[in-house]
Structure 1
Amino acid sequence: MLSALEVARHNSRESCWIIIAGFAYDVTEFLGEHPGGAAIILKYAGQDVTEVYESLHPPSALADNLPSEKKLGPLSPVTNVKLPPFTQMISLLDFEKRSSPKAWAYFSSGATDMSTLALNRATWNSILLIPRVMVDVTKVDTSTILGGTPAALPLLIAPTGMAKLSHPQGEVGFAEGAGHEGIPFTVSTNASAGLDDIISGRTHDNQPFFFQLYMNRDRPKSSALIKKNGARIFKAIILTVDAPWPGKREADERVKNEVVLDLGVAGGRGSAPDSKGAGVGRAMAGYIDANLNWSDIAWIRAQLPTSSSPHESPEPDMLIGVKGVQSVQDVLKAISLGVNIIWLSNHGGRSLDTTPPALYVLLELRRDHPWVFALPHVEIYVDGGVRRGTDVVKALCLGARGVALGRPFMYALQYGTEGVRAAVQILRDEIETTMRLIGARTIAELGPQFLNTKALMPLLNDPVPSSSSPVRSKL
């Protein structure tokens, strides 16, 4: 067995060793081949990089890229910190702030001053509920249709990369938890678990999965990814459109800088972070295509497998969605291009600060274009700051088909599959309680009549000019 001290001596470009999951590896010859560049490996030369590695790579990455003889020998395993029993968690907020400092910084961080991050949460409480009394609410039904498939709740697990920062299961825990609770899980392009492992975590053959796509500037890679996943069990492909460039997440970058300094990088082992910082988010975004544009919807459609009869034009087997829409104009544009799922989102306040909450756009749509919610081939989703069942019910009253959460499920994943299930069950109870107390027995009965939105109306954009009306006439 190799000692950590022996590994620590190999901390240069000439001899670079690292520790992953209790084993030492010689990655000296791999430095020039690493897709993320040699610098990121050299920052951790001679160190245990298990947490960083597992949060960024699928399990097969080592075997696929490193010869077996480069696996040098075993070391002692790392002991995990114990968490309080998840049975003590009675709200989503109870799951928060239990991660390691690095994981907490990555999950909780927002762009620059984090104004949008704070506003996302505060805005939900600005809408008031108007209960109707004397309604028989002995039974309530929360079932709906998401992505063209039945769902037990109007909830989705949002795409969040690097889930293994929370738990060794990573996204497999999301797949299992979502399957047991009957809601869709949107798998991220940046998933830390392999797709085969994630899909194997499904609880039944018809479990709905969506696939989130970051467009790679190397288009053949995105084409291959779409075609490969189009042949799997995914119901929809969701293109993220609000992050063609990495946002500046200072909390994430500061923690990464502190880790680098702790490892002595500034003292000669590799290169120190540049003036833009060295956060996990920035490191992961280097491949994303800044040339993303509306014509790419047709390009994606052309990559998808199709099925048709001799008398019909071919149609893709998967629905197409766009995530990160932040204006009514872009909602209408997406509809005109045949997009099926329009996901209102500002990336959880992680991309561009001082952008409006997605709830504002939902309100503007309800005010100016209520016909959008009646389109049979379009589903409107919303995320950002959702922490309570009351938030979910408010979004549904305004016309949203589904409500997505990211961070809360990441925090719940610290307890593995059971934590994810517990988070869904907490939301289920809060949604059912809210519906009963406002006098609604089914999702279909929810509507604007249950809401007082006056506090937010002065903050909304002016109505979209009438020049957009041709969009509706084409449908």
Structure 2
Amino acid sequence: MKISDALELISPRLPTGTLRQRRLRACHTVKDLRTAARSLLPSAVFDYVDGGADQELSLETNTSAFERYRYLPQVLRDVGSPDTSGNFLGRPAALPLGFAPTGYTRMMHPEGEPAAARAAAEHRIPYVLSTMASTSLEDLAAAPGADAADRWFQLYVWKDRELTRGMVSRAQSNGYRVLEVAVDTAVSGKRLRDVRNGLTIPPALTLGSLLDIASRPNYWMGMLRGEKLEFANVRSDEPGGHTIEGISDQFDPTVNWEDLARIRDTWNGSLVLKGPLGPEDAMRAQALGVDGVHLSNHGGRQLDRTVAPVDLVAPVRAAVGDSFGIFVDSGVRHGSDIATAIALGADACFVGRPYLWALVAGGEEGVGHLVRMLTEEFTRTMQLLGVGSVQELRARGPELLHCHEPAVMRTDRPGQERKSPRWMSLNN
């Protein structure tokens, strides 16, 4: 090749767009969004989003559980126009994906819950507001753009039952379509990263955070320009507001099935039970008139060593039948994870950390970027599997999905060989 020919191949281009746009263009996976978020957040805030309970074993196995499944595609099928639409308790969505409830979202980015809800509305997927949100039920319902979202509310049944009843009433009167009752918080999980970092809400100006200010000035400037950070659904008139410890003390270890029955009698909309629920609990909820279950171990943030929620999908579906709603979160990091969950029998998936990382990386625009990314991954997975719709994927799931399991547990004995893995079809 001549030098002149080589020079013709060189076409330097100057970066275009804002810093935020350039950052998002460099994010091609959820992992990329996590890396971007880590570079922008103070370490204690990043650890709050990223961390789990105790030894973080559930945190690790939530993602690895998805990775155990393998596909056996069926070829020579017309997948030119796949239908990616999902259904959430009678309401259609553009994708079988929703945004799970997350607490203190404005601590991650000043745009907070309204930005995530607006992105959900734009992409026609549900958004679940947490009791522990930094935006109130009323403010989110009134926020321009967010009011159009399919809004759900996640409820903690607290010791103060009057406060609990009040939140149910407020959700009803502000147009929240689905109520999710979280049942995995009898007590608060111990998140050691937060304990070691001394995390407070809002972040306190300790020596460590003062050092963070020097390395993360944009974060702190955003916090100073934003609204006061508080537990907006349970505002306190006391100086300093509620603390994490004070809020966690409201978790009630006496909550039982009778409490759920009373909520079912009070709530006029769809009711979902959220937690690490096995077949027996799912059937009992179904008998009480609950409309669905949201299989979750709180992203590994409550009881450590719980079963990965994706592994509960098939047995719960077998127990409750085809018409009962089954949703799953904890460990969803790729569009193929959504496909796996649906092939196992779920109606849809929810994500939490991924949209928080996207919010940090690019605000509302970043959350939209995440949805487009997952949509592209999910669509491509469907096409390569040879299925034309979400309904077909769920119906043919046992033919398409295999589980790759080690035949023996890992051993630490010196010199002992590991047996080769075996393949197990879901039809077996």
The secondary structure found in structure 1 opposite 2:132 is coil
- What CA distance in whole angstroms lies between the structure 2 residues aligned with 1:261 and 1:406? 27
- Tell me, yes or no, if structure 1 residue 444 matches structure 2 residue 391: yes
**Equivalences for 1:140-289 in 2 at 5 Å?**
140-201=82-143, 203=145, 207-256=149-198, 262-263=206-207, 282=245, 284-289=247-252
Superposed displacement of residue 82, structure 1: 8.1
Which segments of 5 or more consecutive residues in structure 2 lack a partner in the other structure? 1-18, 209-242, 410-428
2:405 corresponds in structure 1 to 455
User: Are residues 223 and 208 of structure 1, via their aligned partners in 2, closer, same or farther at CA, if it must alter by over 3 Å?
Assistant: same
- What CA distance in whole angstroms lies between the structure 2 residues aligned with 1:457 and 1:156? 35
**Equivalences for 1:288-367 in 2 at 5 Å?**
288-304=251-267, 316=268, 318-366=269-317
- What CA distance in whole angstroms lies between the structure 1 residues aligned with 2:169 and 2:57? 39
- What CA distance in whole angstroms lies between the structure 2 residues aligned with 1:353 and 1:214? 20
* 2:286 partner amino acid: I
User: Are residues 113 and 233 of structure 1, via their aligned partners in 2, closer, same or farther at CA, if it must alter by over 3 Å?
Assistant: same
User: Are residues 453 and 346 of structure 1, via their aligned partners in 2, closer, same or farther at CA, if it must alter by over 3 Å?
Assistant: same
User: Are residues 327 and 457 of structure 1, via their aligned partners in 2, closer, same or farther at CA, if it must alter by over 3 Å?
Assistant: farther
Superposed displacement of residue 204, structure 1: 7.7
Aligned length: 348
- What CA distance in whole angstroms lies between the structure 2 residues aligned with 1:432 and 1:125? 18
- What CA distance in whole angstroms lies between the structure 1 residues aligned with 2:375 and 2:244? 31
1:408 corresponds in structure 2 to 354
Superposed displacement of residue 84, structure 1: 6.0
* 2:141 partner amino acid: I
- What CA distance in whole angstroms lies between the structure 1 residues aligned with 2:244 and 2:346? 29
* 1:295 partner amino acid: E
1:89 corresponds in structure 2 to 27
The one-character-per-residue Cα deviations of 1:60-114 (angstroms, maximum 9, x if unpaired) are: xxxxxxxxxxxxxxxxxxxxx9896222211111111232212111111111110
**Which one is further off, 431-440 or 329-338?**
329-338
2:329 corresponds in structure 1 to 383
Q: TM-score scaled by structure 2?
A: 0.76
The one-character-per-residue Cα deviations of 1:215-255 (angstroms, maximum 9, x if unpaired) are: 12110111111112111211110000011101010011111
* 1:362 partner amino acid: V
* 2:260 partner amino acid: I
Question: Equivalent of 1:374, from 308, 322, 328?
Answer: 322
- What CA distance in whole angstroms lies between the structure 1 residues aligned with 2:354 and 2:148? 25
Superposed displacement of residue 441, structure 1: 0.7
- Tell me, yes or no, if structure 1 residue 130 matches structure 2 residue 110: no
* 2:33 partner amino acid: F
2:240 corresponds in structure 1 to none
* 2:373 partner amino acid: I
* 1:86 partner amino acid: L
- What CA distance in whole angstroms lies between the structure 1 residues aligned with 2:333 and 2:120? 17
- What CA distance in whole angstroms lies between the structure 1 residues aligned with 2:244 and 2:297? 16
The secondary structure found in structure 2 opposite 1:381 is strand
The secondary structure found in structure 1 opposite 2:388 is coil
Asked if structure 2 preserves the Cα contact closer than 8 Å seen for 1:325 and 1:331, the reply is no
The one-character-per-residue Cα deviations of 1:178-227 (angstroms, maximum 9, x if unpaired) are: 00111000000111023333223463865311000011211011111111
- What CA distance in whole angstroms lies between the structure 2 residues aligned with 1:348 and 1:127? 19
Asked if structure 2 preserves the Cα contact closer than 8 Å seen for 1:111 and 1:250, the reply is yes
- What CA distance in whole angstroms lies between the structure 1 residues aligned with 2:406 and 2:257? 30
User: Are residues 448 and 281 of structure 1, via their aligned partners in 2, closer, same or farther at CA, if it must alter by over 3 Å?
Assistant: farther
User: Are residues 419 and 245 of structure 1, via their aligned partners in 2, closer, same or farther at CA, if it must alter by over 3 Å?
Assistant: same
Superposed displacement of residue 292, structure 1: 1.1
The secondary structure found in structure 1 opposite 2:62 is helix
- What CA distance in whole angstroms lies between the structure 1 residues aligned with 2:117 and 2:258? 32
Q: Could you tell me the percent identity over the aligned residues? A: 33
1:275 corresponds in structure 2 to none
Superposed displacement of residue 151, structure 1: 0.6
Higher relative contact order (CA 8 A, sep 6+): 2
1:393 corresponds in structure 2 to 339
* 2:358 partner amino acid: A
The secondary structure found in structure 1 opposite 2:54 is coil
1:72 corresponds in structure 2 to none
- What CA distance in whole angstroms lies between the structure 2 residues aligned with 1:197 and 1:336? 35
* 2:355 partner amino acid: F
- Tell me, yes or no, if structure 1 residue 421 matches structure 2 residue 384: no
Superposed displacement of residue 301, structure 1: 2.2
Asked if structure 1 preserves the Cα contact closer than 8 Å seen for 2:117 and 2:146, the reply is no
Q: TM-score scaled by structure 1?
A: 0.69
Which segments of 5 or more consecutive residues in structure 1 lack a partner in the other structure? 1-80, 265-279, 305-315, 460-475
2:227 corresponds in structure 1 to none
Superposed displacement of residue 365, structure 1: 2.9
The one-character-per-residue Cα deviations of 1:414-433 (angstroms, maximum 9, x if unpaired) are: 12111111111100000000
